[in-house]
A and B are shown apart, each in its own frame.
Chain A
Amino acid sequence: MKILNKITVLLCSSVLLFSCSEEKLNPESIFNDQKVERNKLDSYIDQKYTKDYNIAILYKFVEKESDLNYNLSPASYESSVRMTKLLYHLGIEPYDKITGSKEFIQKYFPKVLNYIGSAAYRNNGTFVLGTAEGGVKITLYLLNELNAQTGKDVAFLNEYYFHTMHHEFGHILHQTKGYPASFEQITGARYVSDSWNDLYESDADAAAMGFVSPYASSEPNEDFVETYAYYITLSPQQWNQRISSGGAEGKALIEAKLDIVRTYFQKTWNINLDELRDEILARQADLPNFDQTSLK
């Protein structure tokens, strides 16, 4: 027993000795960020987006942030400048003005905006215009189509960028605070999931069934944000034309849903949808005078 005790003592002491031989950690981090020369757009994004709203804009292509299923091109510097300025003018400031502070955007707007130069083309020539991931990131495609001419074309801007942006932002808002279940009962039996693409040949066909667009018929959440995004980006005449194109019955259904959307925004977010629309329309009308390229 004596010998066994001695062995135990020796073992313990050797273990202790070994554990004491640990090297000291090097205080310098091995992860060194490369300092890259900054340009005017970097400073503008810092000042207008990151400092005030904690939003980052990835205008330089980052593969791991992109959709690896598609063959994509980076956005050009010029189109990135235009989009960054337009997004602030047409997408951020109207909410600030209507809500009276920067807090709303700060709290709910996605924290990463990812710019891609090309569309995300499928092999049949169709393409994706925008995606949102978990309320955190919005990816906007087709940036390289944005130039001096298209930058002032309201229909183009809405179709390719701002409708998508408001649509995705709408998702974040209703995922944060839900809308009344009565919304999905209005056209409850007519939601068709992925068949929306084959079912309707035109917007008018969808309007006849009580949907503001064919995509709105896929499911209630999409219907809710499509109704929202179209309403705040179209003029009253354009809105009326869109919802009337399928006849009186469809129009009445869309208007019933719009009432719920309007009430939801007023009661839940204290946003008057008509005031927000007027603000956006006024800014759209002023586009010919808006400087899209200077970064002061």
Chain B
Amino acid sequence: MKLKYLVILILLPFLLVTSCKRDDDRIFDTNATVRMTEAVQQAYSVLQANKAGWIMKFYPSNNQEFGGYTIFSKFISNAEVTLASDPFTGSETSSYSISPESGPVLTFNGYNKHIHWFSEPGMDNGGIGADDSGMRGDFEFIVLKATADSVVLKGKKSGSHLVMLPLKEGEFERLSTTYQEAADKFKQFMVYKLETSGNKTVRLGYDAKFRVFHNPTDELAVGMAFRVVPKGLEFYQKYTLAGTSFDFLNYVEPTSGYPNGYYTDEGKTFKIIPSTPLNFWFKNNLWSMSFNNTGAFGKLYWTVGKGMLAKNNIIVNNAYIGGTSGVYGLIFNLQNGAVFGGVSHFIEPVEDTEDEVYIELEGYVLGNFPLAYWSGGINYLSAPFDQTTFKITSADGSLTPTVITLTDVTSPTNSFKLFLKDIDDPLNN
């Protein structure tokens, strides 16, 4: 018995000491906070180290339903970044930070339209996407990896993975300009047609607000999201159109048969042809109206309006109809330039036509137009357009005319000759 106790006595301290010994193998050498601080520092260093900047393919929503864009960035200090994206021209500098959260989080924390346009509510971005969520893009990204050859980001809200690739000296300025020029050229056209063998053409499903084509022969097929790049259109993934699989379409410069050029796949099996039908050309420009260029029916209303406006001391310097910067309606230069604005109207190209447009009062105030002016006589200038379908004719037969005539399809005496150039004092000219 004694021996047994002795053995226990000798072993017990060793057992106790062993159990208390901290000799676990640690997975990390340092604690989480130290590693987070290092990761934040690493992200700051890598982003600023490439003085030439970075390029990023950006599909704002993780479903790609708004299409894709290209964003250029240059982190010029640990607080400021210069950004350029292809929907706009030039670049802007704003603030950013990298903070420790669920990883190092890169936040573009000062407003810069080149990135925040993709995340701001639809009420602020020109009506793309829902009023409250817009294109659902991010301006806060978790930095998953930051090395000299790439920075991998994950959108905090969308969860989309994005990759920033390093640019070379001078590329930020050069490439951002060429991408912006390509995008500007692309958005001039409102309609894209698919031409297949035998010169058969069909209009592609396309809304100029989104960079997505829809296959007209397969309505259930997923939208084909793309970015506009200097050499053509780069698609998010491989899609199939007219039996051909592709992920890039090359742009071919204009020819006599294709005055706006076209996009085609590598095997040249189909063409996507840009065009602007007259009804879209009308909708997206501001056209000058005037009394002398108004038909007999419209003159009846304009005469009443003219009297009321004079009585209410409202001076009309210019009167326009059409669209500018994503808003559409009747727009006026009033009170010798002190007021520029008007009232929004629906201006809708009639489906399956190229030269018919439907106009109806929508009723939102545009610019600094005082609502009292509407009932002060402006409403009479709008009345002949309201709830009416017009046929558009080009004065010189051109596809992009500077003078057009709108004629009410049900009443030929309701017509308007419209001009791209300004007409001063439109109620007396």
Q: Which of B107-115, B295-303, B353-361 lies at the interface with chain A?
A: B107-115
What chain A residues lie within 8 Å of B33 (beta carbons)?
Answer: 30-31
Given contacts A30-B33, A60-B95, A74-B110, is CB(A121)–CB(B132) below 8 Å?
yes
User: Is the beta-carbon distance between B111 and A74 smaller than 8 angstroms?
Assistant: yes
Contact of A123 with B131 in the complex, beta carbons under 8 Å = yes
* CA of A70 to CA of B119, assembled, Å: 12
Closest B residue to A75 using CB positions: B111
Which residue of chain A lies nearest to B31 when distances are taken between CB atoms in the complex?
Answer: A30
- The residues of B that contact A70 with a CB separation of less than 8 Å are 132
Q: Is A88 an interface residue (CB 8 A)?
A: no
| A11 CB-CB contact with B under 8 Å | yes
**B120 contacts which chain A residues (CB < 8 A)?**
71, 73, 118
Q: Mark A64-87, 1 if CB is under 8 A from B, else 0.
A: 000000110111110110000000
Q: Which residue of A lies closest to B136 (CB)?
A: A71
A121 cross-chain contacts in B, Cβ below 8 A: 121, 123-124, 131-132
Q: Kindly provide the distance from the CB of B6 to the nearest chain A CB, expressed in whole angstroms.
A: 9
One of B9-17, B187-195, B394-402, B409-417 contacting the partner:
B9-17
Q: Which chain B residues (90-140) contact chain A, with CB distance < 8 Å?
A: 94-95, 97-98, 107-112, 116, 119-121, 123-124, 130-134, 136, 139-140
B109 touches A71 (CB 8 A): no
| B-side interface size class | 35 or more
Q: Which of B37, B94, B97 contacts A36 (CB 8 A)?
A: B97
Picked from A6, A14, A77, A125, the residue with its CB within 8 Å of the CB of B95 is A77
CB-based contact A77/B94 at 8 Å: yes
The CA-CA distance from A12 to B376 in the complex, in Å, is 98
Q: Report Cα–Cα, A134/B211, bound state, in Å.
A: 45
Quick one: which of A1-16 are within 8 Å of B by CB?
3, 6-7, 10-11, 13-15
Q: A236 CB to closest chain B CB, in angstroms?
A: 23
A-side contacts of B40, CB under 8 Å: 34
Once the chains are docked, how many angstroms separate the CA of A189 from the CA of B415? 59
A144 vs B44: C-alpha distance when bound (angstroms): 28
Q: How far is the CA of A122 from the CA of B133 in the complex (A)?
A: 9
Partner of B110, one of A31, A36, A77: A77
Residue interface bits A36-58, CB-to-B below 8 A is 1, else 0: 11110000000000000000000
- The residues in B between 374 and 422 inclusive whose CB is less than 8 angstroms from any CB of A are none
Query: Which residues of chain B in 322-366 are interfacial with respect to chain A, using CB atoms and an 8 Å cutoff?
Result: none
Cβ–Cβ contact A7 & B9, under 8 A: yes
Contact assessment for B107 and A61 in the assembled complex, using a CB-CB cutoff below 8 Å = yes
State whether A32 and B9 are in contact (beta carbons under 8 Å apart), knowing that A37-B80, A60-B110 are contacts in the complex.
Answer: no
User: What B residues does A181 contact at CB under 8 A?
Assistant: none
Q: Is the CB of B139 within 8 A of A122?
A: no
Given contacts A34-B40, A34-B78, A63-B140, contact A76 B110 (CB under 8 A): yes
In angstroms, how far is the closest chain A Cβ from the Cβ of B373? 17
Which residues of chain A have C-beta atoms less than 8 A from B110's C-beta? 59-61, 74-77, 80
- For residue A124, CB closer than 8 A to chain B, the reply is yes
> CB < 8 Å: which of B94, B107, B119 contacts A63?
B107
Does B28 lie at the interface of the complex (its beta carbon under 8 Å from any beta carbon of A)? no
Interface assignment of A117: CB less than 8 Å from any CB of chain B: yes
Instruction: Say yes or no: is B371 at the interface (Cβ < 8 Å to chain A).
Output: no
**A25 interfacial by beta-carbon distance below 8 Å:** no
Q: Is B34's CB within 8 Å of the partner chain A?
A: yes
Given contact pairs A30-B33, A60-B95, enumerate 8 new A-B contacts (beta carbons under 8 Å). A14-B13, A31-B37, A34-B78, A61-B109, A74-B111, A77-B95, A118-B120, A144-B111
Which residues of B line the A interface, CB within 8 A? Answer: 5, 8-9, 12-13, 16-17, 20, 31, 33-34, 37, 40-41, 44, 77-80, 94-95, 97-98, 107-112, 116, 119-121, 123-124, 130-134, 136, 139-140, 156
